[in-house]
């Protein structure tokens, strides 16, 4: 009965005309962002952050969330039609989606990805509704030591789960923690790492950091890598209807992908991308004929699409229930809540029930909106892909500059976003993923606060982190992840050295 009353409360909030309008705008923009290759939900949400200053908190987070899961729907369009992933999680869709398009099955591929996305999102939503209050109730028993240990675990998990080197991920987390220390110390009032620059007394602007690392840097990367000569084929509604055998072949992969994505999305540091790739790997292993994958297997697009959409929903579980962002997008949305004076964590559900349950119900409404948007309007999204990239990317840079300037009306923020954009592009070239940096920046101040509070309560005794069972267990998991990260780095270097030695021996003989 409590669950039903909470859902009824959420429905009342989500069904308000203003909230519905923001939800629709969010999912529409998310679909556009997902369709257009190279932009991504993170850059779009970063651009929208200045707008949330003038919006109610519930409407703001519903709109940003709509952009997030809406991009998962739209990301498959460019992957299937142009072999260009609109979002990182839709990169795996290219493997079989584009071959299907070349065989004249682009309409079928787009249709089944939309249905798989809806199935994954709804399964993730059920998990979010059932388990978020339970996790939050457990979180109420946490003290400063437990929160510190959990944040350390989340940061290490985020760094070790990156696609590149685990050591590089750890370096980016530490760099983000250092950036989070810039500004005035809350306890002593002393300026730290500001280098006598008045604009840095309040720290580095979150919006400038997010826009620079993921907006400007991504635009520069896409300008250097995008193939502007590709043109998508026309897709009709008649060509989107799958055959009976094709539809039957999607059911089990869809169920497996939804279950896997729902479970992985709730883990801090995993996110939709890893869920999609793992789902694809599982489907390839259980398939009777694995050689079909990569040649246009319909299971190769339904499983990862359902997995990444399920993970996009359950990523809100640790973010809202425990205050631990699952990925960089969740970190930015947590920043949006903090800007409005709302602290994500175990008390969020009890202190802000309208916001939490309104957001949960809006997920269901938004996903239904996305189905209505995606199926009849495929032709519109295909037409958007015909816009020359030379027109699109300068407009994005202009919006970045206007957005970051509108926050404080300070030209220094524009210089900051330019410098951070250059830094973000250099990091991409060097294959340092910027997402762990942003997680470190967001969690750094909270990590320091809980560390100081725990040490104050224990009168300086650091053993408090090991004496409390939950904290000790979390730190043990952290140590295991660190050990795995170090071992994987050492193993890769050993393999590379052996391969080099073997090549030298072959050359001498």
Mean pLDDT score, 314-341: 76
CB 388 within 8 A of CB 228: yes
pLDDT over 60 at 32, yes or no: yes
Strand stretches in 319-420, DSSP E:
none
The β-bridge relationship of strands 183-184 and 191-192 is: antiparallel
Name residue 192's beta-bridge partners: 183
Tokens for 466?
């090991």
pLDDT over 60 at 137, yes or no: yes
Read off the pLDDT band of 407 (50, 70, 90).
low
pLDDT over 80 at 165, yes or no: no
What percentage of the chain exceeds 90 in pLDDT?
1
Phi, psi of 401, deg, nearest 5: -65, -45
pLDDT over 80 at 459, yes or no: yes
Q: Other C-beta atoms within 10 Å of 100: how many?
A: 23
Which is more confident, 422 or 314?
A: 422
For 296-330, b where at least 16 C-beta lie within 10 A, e where not — what string? bbbbbbbbbbbbbbbbbbbbbbbbbbbbbbbbbbb
Q: Other C-beta atoms within 10 Å of 192: how many?
A: 14
Q: What is the reported pLDDT for 163?
A: 53
Rounded distance, CA 212 to CA 400, Å?
9
Mean pLDDT score, 49-60: 82
pLDDT tens for each residue of 287-327 = 777 777 777 788 888 888 888 888 887 877 777 777 777 66
Rounded distance, CA 389 to CA 229, Å?
10
Q: What is the reported pLDDT for 382?
A: 62
Read off the pLDDT band of 488 (50, 70, 90).
confident
pLDDT over 60 at 195, yes or no: yes
pLDDT tens for each residue of 91-107 = 677 778 878 877 777 77
Q: Other C-beta atoms within 10 Å of 233: how many?
A: 13
CB 241 within 8 A of CB 111: yes
Distances 509 to 59, 495, 496, 498, 500 between C-alpha atoms, Å? 70, 21, 20, 17, 14
Read off the pLDDT band of 24 (50, 70, 90).
very high
pLDDT over 70 at 490, yes or no: yes
Q: What is the reported pLDDT for 249?
A: 81
């Amino acid at each position: 009965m409590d669950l039903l009353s909470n859902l009824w409360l959420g429905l009342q909030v989500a069904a308000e005309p203003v909230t519905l309008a923001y939800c629709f705008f969010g999912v529409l923009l998310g679909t556009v962002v997902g369709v257009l290759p190279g932009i991504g939900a993170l850059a779009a949400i970063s651009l929208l952050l200045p707008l949330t200053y003038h919006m109610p908190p519930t409407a703001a987070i519903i709109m940003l969330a709509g952009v997030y899961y809406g991009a998962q729907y739209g990301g498959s369009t460019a992957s299937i039609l142009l072999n260009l992933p609109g979002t990182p999680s839709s990169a795996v869709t290219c493997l079989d989606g584009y071959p299907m398009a070349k065989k004249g099955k682009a309409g079928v591929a787009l249709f089944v990805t939309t249905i798989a996305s809806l199935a994954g999102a709804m399964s993730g939503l059920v998990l979010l509704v059932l388990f978020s209050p339970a996790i939050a109730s457990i979180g109420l028993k946490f003290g400063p030591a437990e929160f510190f240990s959990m944040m350390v675990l989340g940061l290490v998990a985020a760094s070790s789960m990156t696609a590149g080197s685990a050591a590089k991920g750890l370096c980016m987390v530490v760099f983000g923690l250092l950036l989070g220390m810039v500004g005035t110390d809350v306890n002593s009032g002393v300026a730290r790492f500001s280098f006598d620059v008045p604009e840095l007394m309040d720290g580095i602007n979150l919006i400038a950091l997010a826009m620079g690392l993921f907006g400007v840097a991504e635009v520069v990367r896409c300008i250097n890598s995008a193939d502007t000569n590709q043109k998508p084929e026309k897709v009709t509604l008649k060509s989107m209807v799958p055959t009976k055998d094709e539809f039957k072949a999607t059911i089990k992969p869809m169920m497996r992908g939804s279950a896997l994505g729902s479970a992985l999305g709730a883990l801090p540091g995993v996110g939709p991308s890893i869920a999609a790739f793992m789902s694809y790997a599982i489907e390839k292993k259980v398939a009777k004929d694995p050689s079909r994958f990569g040649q246009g297997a319909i299971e190769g697009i339904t499983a990862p699409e359902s997995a990444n959409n399920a993970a996009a929903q359950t990523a809100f579980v640790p973010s809202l229930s425990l205050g631990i962002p699952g990925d960089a997008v969740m970190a930015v949305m947590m920043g949006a809540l903090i800007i409005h004076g709302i602290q994500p964590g175990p008390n969020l559900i009890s202190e802000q029930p309208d916001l939490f349950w309104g957001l949960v119900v809006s997920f269901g409404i938004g996903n239904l909106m996305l189905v209505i948007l995606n199926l009849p309007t495929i032709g519109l999204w295909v037409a958007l892909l015909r816009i020359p990239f030379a027109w699109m990317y300068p407009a994005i840079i202009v919006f970045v500059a206007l957005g970051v300037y509108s926050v404080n009306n300070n030209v220094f923020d524009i210089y900051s976003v330019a410098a951070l954009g250059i830094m973000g592009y250099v990091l991409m070239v060097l294959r340092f993923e910027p997402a762990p940096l942003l997680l470190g920046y967001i969690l750094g101040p909270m990590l320091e606060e809980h560390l100081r509070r725990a040490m104050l309560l224990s009168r300086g005794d650091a053993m408090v982190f090991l004496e409390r069972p939950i904290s000790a267990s979390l730190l043990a998991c952290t140590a295991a992840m660190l050990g795995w990260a170090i071992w994987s780095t050492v193993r890769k270097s050993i393999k590379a050295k052996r391969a080099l030695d073997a090549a030298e021996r072959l050359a001498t003989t």
